[in-house]
A and B are shown apart, each in its own frame.
Chain A
Amino acid sequence: MVFSDLIFLFFFLPAVILVTKLSPRSWRNTELFLFSLLFYAWGEPVYVLLMLTVILVNYLAGLLVAAFPAETRWRERRLVLVLAIALNLGILGYYKYTGFFLESMNRLFRSHFPVPEIVLPIGISFYIFQSMSYVIDVYRYQVDPQYNPLLFGTYVSLFPQLIAGPIVRYRDVSDQLTGREETWSRFAYGTIRFVYGLAKKVLLANQLGVLADRMLQTEAGTLSAWVGMAAYTLQIYFDFSGYSDMAIGLGRMLGFRFKENFDYPYVSRSITEFWKRWHMSLSSWFREYVYIPLGGNRRGRARQYLNLLIVWALTGLWHGAAANFILWGLYYAALLILEKQFFGKLTARLPGFLQHILTLLIVAFGWGIFYYTDFGLFRAFAGRLFSSQPDSEEALRFAAAYLPTLLAACIAATGRPNALLKKLRRGRFFWMEIVFLSVLFILSTAALVNQSYNPFIYFRF
């Protein structure tokens, strides 16, 4: 199930709220666990068993790691950790990367391995990373192991963050699992966050997606390429951050407090800043569990750059099992290294808006790499960007029709509206925000309902 779905909004969510709020506190984690399993099983009726296996493996690994004290039995302790990581990565590798790996092998070595068709279990990248962070944290004594399997299961499968993040570390929510506060204030805030997230996803990201696909797939002009790149840049932000907002909002309604995942990344004035604001839970995960263990920046510049390359290649690969994602990761590795080493100091002297535009252009071009899994299509796209190709009248009309949407999205991508709303919320005209939220919710619902509205025109011929 996804959040932007009528069944979730009007059947699953009210059921969760009714059941958990009306039952004793001590039942609520179990209820959440069961609801989460239902949530996951909705779209993946079979893979729910895979998730349960992952939960069980990591639960046991956590116990075992804790059972071997580091002072006396550090070998066993490390062995369990290594096994657990291997198992987790094995599962992730099998389900996510088998096809890509074999296809690459076949292409590189002209071999003929049959490529199995494995359907990617939804959210696997997220819950594997979360589970691994738990075992590593236990190993590092950063957190106590969870002895209650139901609680551990609730943590891994917790539906708000199950399928699209943010990647919540166990140590950030371990206390909340047992002792979270459920107040009107949290619930109201959660509601507001959720509706904003829903509107971002449904009213902005989905619409921008239509524009982006049209411009990047069917059109062949220069302007189309630029508009498409801009639209996709905005789409991916509103899609992802909208989802994170909904996750954080839902968590809040249930009493959880998840860390922020996006911090207006498109206001950044450098690539380094961008990555501090974009998908923060992922970049911090890689920093903490890959970059720093590899030595970070403490083993000399060369090693630091190597580490950066490794981390960014993996970051790219995490986003998808295709070469363009690795390329996209390395693109950022190169940019970050270059920025640190060379032009960071130069650009810092430029006026702020130029730094901003430069950063946006680099990021947007990066999304171009991200968009096309076919390298040939990407090359054609890049060619269109930097040469003058005529646009069809249809493309221009289409782009013009989406101009208000694009403008609204650009404004929404800055922190201004939010600051304004926060101010509004504190003042006398707080009700205006409630009206605004209601309108957004109705419009979002309308957009979702409209997806099923298919007048059968052909019937009329």
Chain B
Amino acid sequence: MKKKHRNIFISVLFCTAILAVPALFFLQPKKSFSEREKRYLAEAPELTSQSLRSGSFTEQLGSYVADHFPGRELFVGINAYFDLLSGRQETKEYFSALGGRLFARPVDTDLRILNSNLDSINAFARDLASTEADIPLSLMLVPSSGAVLLDRQDYPDGAIISYAYERAQTGEVDLLGAFRSFSDPEKLYYRTDHHWTSEGAFQAACVYRRSLGLPCPSREEYTQQRYGPFYGSAYAGSGLWLSAPDSLDLWYSGKLIQVSNETGRANNGVFYMERLQERDKYTVFLDGNHSLVRIENLSGGIGAERNLLVIRDSFSNSLGCFLADLYDKVILVDLRYYKLPLTELIVDEDIDEILIEYSVDNFLHDTNLAFLSMDPEPLRQKVEEERRPPNYYAPPQKLTDDFFDGAYYLGDSVDGILSYYCLHNGKLRNTTIASNAMLGYDELAQQVRKHLVYKGNFATLPELLEAEDPKMLIVALGCNDLARADVEPTTEAVAEFLNLVRETSPDTTVFIQSVMPIRVNLDIFNQGEVDGLNTWLKEHAETYDYCYIELGQYFKDEKGQMAASYSYNDTHLKPSAAPIWYQQLMNGGNYYHFPEQYYVEYDGVTNQQLEKAVAAFEEAEPDAFEEEPQKETVLDQIYARICEQISCPEMLELNERTISSYLGLNPEDFRDGRFYLCANNLKADEIWLVELENEDAVQKMMDRARERILVKASSYELYLPEESEIARRGVAVAKGNYLALFLSPDAERMRDIFLAALED
């Protein structure tokens, strides 16, 4: 060839080369996404004066040309193989060794991110430990393939893993040791991908299980299917396009497994087979990366039911497939996408174990572990709930206010003040209080047959019991029997009474309240006898199947008698003692042989908590007789005038609310009302002064007043006959809308004063 021809040839060759590229560039269709690089390629930049001036236009045009350069992958390959031939390839991101196996370069050992990741994990571990939940937390750091397979000192994975395990307050999973001692370590990692193979993931799952002392299946329990070709990330990163591909082994366990992730789509089995058609076949395992993957093993895991939470990177895609077989439920969380505290997952999914799985590379570089957090409180509560003993039944420690609803309360004169207290404060609202001042255990059966009690109309107790069959009967008597002296309470007498009750109303549960202590020892009986009676009642509760209520101790002074502050020199309680009585009546601790049908369910709340509740209840008890300030009305003036002229005994004032509810009257019928009754039950004195709305109300009230005279007379009949007589001579009078009832030795004088006052 002539020299000139040669020059032309060289020139044309060069020009052809540099002209062919732009020609191809403009002619070829542009891809927008590079499968191999897993990224969107640059788009043609927009020409604006702004982008031109700032230089961003030319810069973007440069990336656009480079990204769509004709034969781009061919050139990348050429460059990779040139590097390989010139020896430099080993310094690249991915390099070829051990017969064409592709390795990632050793990670750089900057520990900054690693340390902060360890801090996050330790904070999480402390939160978890503070809940006292029995949830083991393990850290699994996956070494790179180079650290396992290459005999090189510059892979720091081992040192980094020991460093991390030393500092992490978690269980550790020694993969590096297990992998290095594995019979054929090359089988553990792909040749063209940085991930572990199914074999590697299986071994890792077993190492983890063994670290917790849990069983692991043998490889023989799986059937394997091989799919290929698989070109992994190292292949794409190296540019060594002539490398032999890998194949993917899918290990089938035959278990029935369902997988769902945050997209809401569910999959049967851990393998997403359609992914095998794609370039990145690694996504066949659990569909690749997802923020939250939920795997349910419908066939059940190995051993006891356990649920596992894995905080993970992409190594857990294939690891998860094996864990799925071993647990009943596996939740995989990828903190790159899942930023919420893990509390809800741990609590709601009943997590039993937590595993943090990261490759050494990601553990050194991924900062998303900062999102690892939990709120310990809900888990702590759950743990506490689970630790609480099962529910049980026992007598209530505190009776509810409606406990005695529908019960009959059979009392004597001692209970008069108590019944008023109850009326006044709305206690025992639905309990029928049927007192007769003379009742005593000695002849109770006879007495109740003979004497009438009042409930709407007059009847004897057996009649009432037979008619209504109340669920409970509380017997609360004083010492009338002891006072009678001639008749001692005997087993027979009590048994007779109980038989009477059983016969007339078999379903009624009987409660017997202790006899109140007495203030002064008398000739005929003393405190010793009272205590003896109570002891007897307590001892026989089981035999005769009643419930005994011991209240005496709350009213005794240091001498073992009724304290002066609670009584008027006898056995009757002062009004101020009534709240104590009521409070102790409601205290389950005072009951012996409590009827089982009224046991309450304890939901495992600790006794301490219950005691607290009781204390709170006791504190909240209101002062029973605190008077509301009232304006002085006509009725007050009348009462004042009566008391000026006649010496009344110490009287107790009841408010109209109490009376109206006691008498079954409509409170709206009242304009005003004053009710006084002798504070000491030894006198029958009682005064009503009422102003009513209309004639009807006056009529109704008058009926009640007349009944009242009869009831009072009847209840005092055997007890204090003179007082009964005074009651019977009581006066009920109405004038206009005013009405009065006077039970008093001076009842007639009072009536006169009343009428005279109304005249004025």
Contact = CB atoms under 8 A, between A and B. Distances in A.
B88 A449 contact: no
Contact of A460 (B14, B15, B38, B72): B38
**Which bucket holds chain B's interface residue count?**
35 or more
A115 interface: no
A455 B236 contact: yes
Contact of B11 (A188, A446, A448, A449): A188
Contact of B15 (A14, A195, A393): A14
Interface string B5-17: 0111111011101
B61 interface: yes
A259 B336 CA distance: 59
Contacts of B54: 45
B412 to A, nearest CB: 87
A187 B7 contact: yes
A457 B366 CA distance: 13
A404 B19 CA distance: 33
Interface in A403-423: 403-405, 408
A438 B10 CA distance: 10
B280 A460 contact: yes
B150 to A, nearest CB: 11
Interface stretch (A2-10, A71-79, A318-326): A2-10
B165 to A, nearest CB: 22
B651 interface: no
Interface in B80-94: 80, 82, 86-91, 93
B633 interface: no
A42 B58 contact: yes
Interface in B44-103: 52-55, 58, 61-63, 65-67, 69, 72, 75-76, 78-80, 82, 86-91, 93
A11 B65 contact: yes
Given A191-B10, A442-B78, A455-B37, A17 B15 contact: yes
Interface in B14-29: 14-15, 17-19, 21-22, 25
Contacts of B197: none
Given A6-B65, A446-B79, A452-B67, A404 B86 contact: yes
B478 interface: no
B76 A459 contact: no
Interface stretch (A141-149, A220-228, A335-343, A394-402): A394-402
Contact of A461 (B9, B106, B314): B314
A450 B79 contact: yes
A394 B106 contact: yes
Contacts of A400: 87
Nearest to B109: A394
A169 to B, nearest CB: 28
Nearest to A394: B154
A187 B584 CA distance: 119
B123 to A, nearest CB: 23
B561 interface: no
Contact of A450 (B4, B10, B15, B75): B75
Contacts of B13: 434, 438
Contacts of B313: 461
Nearest to A450: B79
A187 to B, nearest CB: 5
Given A184-B4, A455-B233, A446 B76 contact: yes
B55 A456 contact: no
Contacts of A445: 75
Contact of B75 (A192, A210, A446): A446
Contact of A449 (B39, B75, B90, B233): B75
B18 A456 contact: no
A403 B37 contact: no
A294 interface: no
A284 interface: no
A6 B63 CA distance: 10
B239 interface: yes
Interface of B is mostly: helix
Interface string A169-207: 000000000000000110111011001000000000001
A231 to B, nearest CB: 12
B183 interface: no
B158 interface: no
**Which bucket holds chain A's interface residue count?**
35 or more
B380 to A, nearest CB: 33
A184 B8 contact: yes
Contact of A195 (B9, B14, B67, B89): B14
B36 interface: yes
A447 interface: yes
B63 to A, nearest CB: 7
A457 B69 CA distance: 21
B76 A402 contact: no
Nearest to B334: A461
A188 B17 contact: no
A453 B67 CA distance: 8
B4 A45 contact: no
A10 B22 contact: yes
Contacts of B10: 188, 191-192, 434, 437
B606 interface: no
B260 interface: no
Given A188-B11, A398-B91, A14 B19 contact: yes
Given A187-B11, A460-B233, A460-B280, A11 B22 contact: yes
Contact of A393 (B8, B90, B153, B282): B153
B91 A402 contact: yes
A243 to B, nearest CB: 18
Nearest to B24: A10
Nearest to B69: A449
Most chain B CB inside 10 Å of its own CB: which residue of A17, A188, A404 = A188
Most chain B CB inside 10 Å of its own CB: which residue of A6, A184, A446 = A446
A321 B65 CA distance: 34
B362 interface: yes
Most chain B CB inside 10 Å of its own CB: which residue of A6, A394, A450, A455 = A455
Given A46-B53, A188-B10, A455-B237, A401 B88 contact: yes
Interface in B628-660: none
B75 A452 contact: no
B279 to A, nearest CB: 11
Contact of B62 (A5, A184, A195): A5
Contacts of A397: 90-91, 154
B419 interface: no
A184 B1 CA distance: 15
Contacts of B194: 457
A68 interface: no
B120 interface: no
B289 interface: yes
Contacts of A408: 86
A450 B7 contact: no
A387 interface: no
Most chain B CB inside 10 Å of its own CB: which residue of A14, A210, A448, A452 = A452
A185 B58 CA distance: 34
A441 interface: yes
4 pairs of A and B residues whose beta carbons are closest in the complex? A452-B66, A188-B7, A446-B79, A461-B314
Interface of B: 1, 3-4, 6-11, 13-15, 17-19, 21-22, 25, 36-39, 52-55, 58, 61-63, 65-67, 69, 72, 75-76, 78-80, 82, 86-91, 93, 106, 152-154, 194, 233, 236-237, 239, 280, 282, 289, 313-314, 336, 362
18 contacts: A5-B62, A7-B58, A7-B65, A42-B58, A43-B55, A184-B4, A185-B4, A191-B11, A398-B91, A401-B87, A405-B86, A438-B13, A443-B82, A446-B76, A453-B76, A457-B236, A460-B282, A461-B314
Interface of A: 1, 5-7, 9-11, 13-14, 17-18, 42-46, 184-185, 187-189, 191-192, 195, 207, 210, 392-394, 397-398, 400-405, 408, 430, 434, 437-438, 441-443, 445-457, 459-461
Given A195-B14, A394-B154, A430-B6, 7 more contacts: A6-B69, A402-B91, A404-B88, A443-B79, A446-B76, A455-B38, A460-B282
